[in-house]
Amino acid sequence: MKTALKAGCILFLNLFLVFAGSGYAEEEKKQAGPLVGIEYLTGFAQAKLREKGSYSAVPMMVDFDFNLKPLTKKIGFNPPGLLQFQLEPFINPVYRPDSNVEIGNSFLIKIGFLPDNFKFQPYFKGGAGLIYITQHTREQSTQFNFVEYAGCGIHYFFNKNTAFTVEGRYRHLSNASIKQPNKGIDTYFFLAGLSYLF
């Protein structure tokens, strides 16, 4: 019960920070350059460990969005929807089975399915990254690992520059067979947050 309460408090604090910070984004000056947006995502992550059972975390991710279209136009490829490279630092407090933390950075490609000016923008995302976990598990002999992601989500733009975002994501964690055992840990993410475009 105490761990569920802690997780709820962390999630509430993250959502409060997201919505409290959204008002300041409107006052910022528009910037020219490859960085076209910032997203803040939080939610719930769940995995299963062989010996310790449920593995639960509260993701806290910041995505820096870089537009790839200027590069792809040079080779004659100009899709109508989003085409972005994302740099995603994260810190994920873990509250089950023990209090731990995940910290790392991911490199992702995000592809939108509809033209940029649509109010709803569904997308697919995939990529890889580096992670350090403080949790000791039977699955992994190392605490430094690699992650691969695949996911999909949707942006709902409630004004020209700001969108509410929901996303589901699958993550595979392993150490690339640097050391055995390397059984891997599969985690499912349910995320929500705000996206701000410059």
Percent of the chain predicted with pLDDT > 90: 66
How is the chain split into domains, by residue range? 2-197
For residue 38, give every residue at least 6 positions away whose Cβ sits within 8 Å of its Cβ, in sequence order, or none.
Answer: 62, 63, 64, 65, 195, 196
CATH code of 2-197, in short, is: 2.40.160.20
pLDDT digits (tens, 9 = 90+) for 147-158: 999 999 999 999
- Do 171 and 187 form a contact (C-beta atoms < 8 A)? yes
- The pLDDT value recorded for residue 192 is 98
- DSSP H helices in the chain: 2-25, 69-73
- The pLDDT value recorded for residue 9 is 53
Query: Between residues 191 and 7, which one has the greater pLDDT?
Result: 191
Report whether pLDDT(24) > 50: no
Report whether pLDDT(17) > 70: no
3-state secondary structure of 49: strand
Chain-wide mean pLDDT for the chain?
87
Q: Confidence band (pLDDT; 50, 70, 90) for 80? A: confident
52-90 burial, b if ≥16 CB within 10 A, otherwise e? Answer: eeebbbbbbbebbbbbbbeeeeeeeeeeebbbbbbbbeb
Averaged over 65-76, what is the pLDDT?
92
